[in-house]
Amino acid sequence: MSTLFTKIINREIPANIVYETEKVIAFKDINPVAPIHILVVPKKEIPTLNDIKDEDAEYIMEMYKAIRVITKDLKIAEDGYRVITNCNTNGGQEVYHLHFHILGGEKIGLMRIKK
Ligand code: AMP
């Protein structure tokens, strides 16, 4: 059973994709909490931050590269932005496929992603 985000990667579910490489995809969050809200997702089903293995290093590096490129393209790099990963129940994680939230386009308040 593939994750929601794997379905987006495989084009089984539509998404507004803003960036894609062999190892990473990024798309607009369906329920944005800031003017710019992008999800950066590895093309490997790593469920949570707790599950990252040494062998996943290239995926994680590619995710940070995606953040650098996307924030520059969207012209929010200089003003700044926030990157968040929720982990498990207390972190408020809903989709169990590792992802970074990029939030920007305005000054982001404290605990912006709290559910
Ligand atoms: P998290 O709570 O950290 O697991 O974040 C999951 C995020 O996925 C939430 O911010 C949702 O709004 C977002 N989301 C859920 N379904 C979709 C979808 N089909 N396309 C884009 N974003 C989605």
Neighbours of 2 (CB within 10 A): 12
- Indicate which residues carry an active-site annotation: 99
Would the pLDDT of 68 be above 60? yes
And the tokens for 5? 């985000």
Give distance in angstroms: CA of 54 to centre of ligand 1: 26
Percent of the chain predicted with pLDDT > 70:
97
Residue closest via CA to ligand 1's atom 16 equals 30
Task: Choose the residue to mutate in 17, 94, 101, 112 for probing ligand 1, maximizing ligand atoms within 8 Å of C-beta.
Answer: 94
Nearest Cα neighbor of 26 from 35, 37, 91, 34 is 37
**Quick one: tokens of 96?**
């169990």
Does the Cβ of 93 fall within 6 Å of ligand 1? yes
Does 115 score more than 60 pLDDT? no
